[in-house]
Amino acid sequence: MVTRSRLIIAFLSCFVLPSVSCKKDLPDSVKQVDLNSVMGMVANEPQFSTLWGLISAADVRDDLHGKHDKTLLAPTNQAFSELGQETLDSLIQPENKAQLQDIIRNHIIDGAVTAPDLASGTFGVNQLARKLVTGKDDTGATTVEGARVIQSMRADNGYIHVIDEVILPVAPSSTSAD
């Protein structure tokens, strides 16, 4: 049975993916997309179809595009499926766009973060101005906020680190005076 969000993501993919790979009669910002860029690689890799659909729905494609290096912690389709269909359906609703943008931006770091940098924790903050916690799991694999890094890929303008979980933004903690 095809769910509503899968139809929406499939619909978005029909219009977004061809615009990345077919560069004629398109706005200049889309024509300039390099298929080997972070954005181009995510848009054209089947294991990221849910991520790409959500990036498009959140309207944060420009966060991955440009002359400056970007690093994307890229949850797989399987990682997004762990959130549950009801949650995914809710996230693509217009009234939840800001929440979806925060989830996506929680996975983007401005600048190039290599696999060794990621493993050692020597990188800046994500686009939500949050320092992500890195570590090692019991197999020795690098983790970021508990999500296991299962592959790292070099793009023309940065890196994509494939992760097995979605890293949800942490709500700011409130401190109360005693």
Q: How many domains does the chain have?
A: 1
pLDDT, tens digit, for every residue of 120-157?
988 889 999 999 999 999 999 999 999 999 999 999 99
Within-domain flag for 55 = yes
Within-domain flag for 175 = no
Residue 170: its pLDDT value, please?
Answer: 82
Structural domain range at position 57: 4-163
Task: Tell me: pLDDT of 20 over 60.
Answer: no
Within-domain flag for 174 = no
Task: Tell me: pLDDT of 54 over 60.
Answer: yes
Within-domain flag for 176 = no
Query: Residue 18 belongs to a domain with what CATH number?
Result: 2.30.180.10
Within-domain flag for 178 = no
Within-domain flag for 172 = no
Counting Cβ atoms within 10 Å, is residue 38 exposed (0-12), middle (13-18) or buried (19+)? buried
Is pLDDT larger for residue 13 or for residue 67? 67
pTM over 0.95, yes/no: no
53 Cβ contact list (under 8 Å, min separation 6): 8, 9, 12, 13, 16
With contact defined as beta carbons under 8 Å apart, do 86 and 44 qualify? Answer: no
Q: Where are the beta strands (DSSP E) in 14-144?
A: 70-75, 108-110, 134-136, 142-144
Q: What are phi and psi of 90, to 5 degrees?
A: -65, -40
Is pLDDT larger for residue 11 or for residue 139? 139
Within-domain flag for 72 = yes
Residue 122: its pLDDT value, please?
Answer: 83
